[in-house]
Structures are given as C-alpha cells and as structure tokens.
Structure 1
C-alpha cells in the first residue's frame, strides 16, 4: 500500500477590521453613501491622521478634568446626549384621520405610558363606541389604539372618566392641523 503524503499546510486568513467602520478595510468604499459609518470613514480619510493626532492633548493630572485625561471630553459628550433624550411628561394624544374621503379613524396614542393595558383599553373603546378598535404599531414601533369612526370627543371624555386615577385632563392632547394642542381648557383642568 502507498502511504498518504501530507498535503500543503493551510493557514487561516486573518482579517483586520477598520476601527472606524467595523468592516474589513477593502469594503469601506462599498458601504452605502448615506450610512453613518461611511460618513465617519470618509471624514477620517479627508482629514488624515495628522489632524486626529493634533486634537489629542496630554494633561498633567493636577485638575479634575486632567485626572480624567482624554476621557473628559468624551464623558461630557455622553452627558450632553443623555440630557437631550430626557422626555417630558407622558401624554395621551388623540388624532382624527380620514381615509378614502369618507371613513374616519380615531387614533389614541400614549395610554401605555400611564400604565394602561392597551388590549383592555381597546376592548373598552370597541364596546363603548360599538365599532372596531385594535392595537396597532406605528412606523416608530410604538403601539397605539385605532378606533373606527369619529369618536374623538367621546374618547377624551371616556379616558378621563375611566382612568381618572391615572390620566389627568391636562395630559390629554389633540392633533389639529398638524399642531398638538391641549384638549381641555386650563380652566376645566381639575
């Protein structure tokens, strides 16, 4: 019998990823032109490595900001971003939409922020207004209730009556001609 001769040894291929985009360097040109990674990569290519090095500074560590070193500006940037993401008070937004120039749909958004279960609320609205009501996700992925028919006024009254311990009159808004306004006047707010 013939003995098997060893074949050529195969070494695994090592790929280095670009630290800016997170993809192999040869794929950077193929990224979509409107994605953030491509824009950062293009900016770093245009600026060159010398401008990135010029932005770095060395602190002696005598001050509080110096003790943090280079991380201090990054921490300030993170803190600035988190302050923008703070949301205001939760609110219920009612909106009347028409489709096919005849049909009307009332949209109730924001009830879940008050701890109301949307499935139960949808069932309540459907029974109260004798129409179809369902929980629907919008384009942003947030859930809201769609009720068939024009029942905006009755829905606002029902929300205040049914969920008076959770939702105040001052938390209910209505969308009129793409402007959000309070539904109840300030003198009516209890």
Structure 2
C-alpha cells in the first residue's frame, strides 16, 4: 500500500510584545504594581496595542460586565498595588543612594595583597558573576567568600583596588556612582612596633 504524503500546514510564528517596565505581556500589566507606568510605556512604544487595551471603548466594554461593587474593589486594589510598588521603589532608591561599595586593600604577607569588594548586592549585582568577570579582567584568582560578619564579599588576588573602582564605574556606572565607592587600606599591625 502506498502512503499518501499529506501537505504540511504552514506554521506561523507569533510575535509577542512584552512590557518594558514590568516585563509581562501588556494584557497582564494590571496585575503588577506599576500599571500606570506600564500604560505610559505602551502608549509611547506600541500605540496600536494601547488603543486596543486602554481606549475608552475597550475600558467601557470591560467595565460594563462588572457590577458596581466589583468595580470599586478593583479600583481600590489597583491603587493599593501601585502605592505599594511606588513605596518599594522609593525605598530601593534611597537605600542605593546611601549605601557604599567598599574596596579594601588587605595585606597578606610582606608584599602580597588582596582586594576585597563588598556591598554590590544592594545595586542588583550578583557577586558570583562579578567575581568571575573580575577574574577574567585582571587575569587573577577571584572568589566569593563569607566574612566573619556573614556578609558575602569578593576576594581578588593582587593589589587592584584602584583598577576595580575604574572597572565598576566603566561597566556599572549607570547603577553605581563614584561617590558611592570608597577605597579602604587595611594594613596589618607590625609586631613589636611602639604604639604612640
């Protein structure tokens, strides 16, 4: 028996649009906390989709199916979510403005030094990724360890504290400002030295 070849149906790839603010599809932006910002972004970048979702006709058609009490509850929930997201964003911005990235130059032996970097997680940087990038950049050993206080820190072999500062400003300058980076020199006390 001969098999008859069926013509394959041509499949079409779908192009999805994702919000530039909350990274959800625009239909689901209302469930995030930044609905107003998402609407503004959608209006600027995808006007046709904005009209389909947020035009007067679309909103009135969607609201007409809801009862008055449900409409009020939806409006209250949206306002609460937006206020909560705005407060969280303000807290993060304040925390970033006041926190410092510390780069310590620690003396190991007579002429051997390591550079220890702390405080990057506040700026949304992952210590392991940064440690790997620093190891490649300076062609040296680099690792993430826990300090005695329980804080994760990046240890880079060598006296490269100034170079790390320059690299952070060059690569992550949009997130970290120069005023938020401080270099600390940590020297071991010599034995037998007279104290003043």
Q: TM-score, normalised by structure 1?
A: 0.46
Q: Which has the higher contact order (CA 8 A, sep 6+)?
A: 2
Q: TM-score, normalised by structure 2?
A: 0.45
Answer with 1 or 2: which has the greater Rg: 1
Return the structure number with greater helix share. Answer: 2
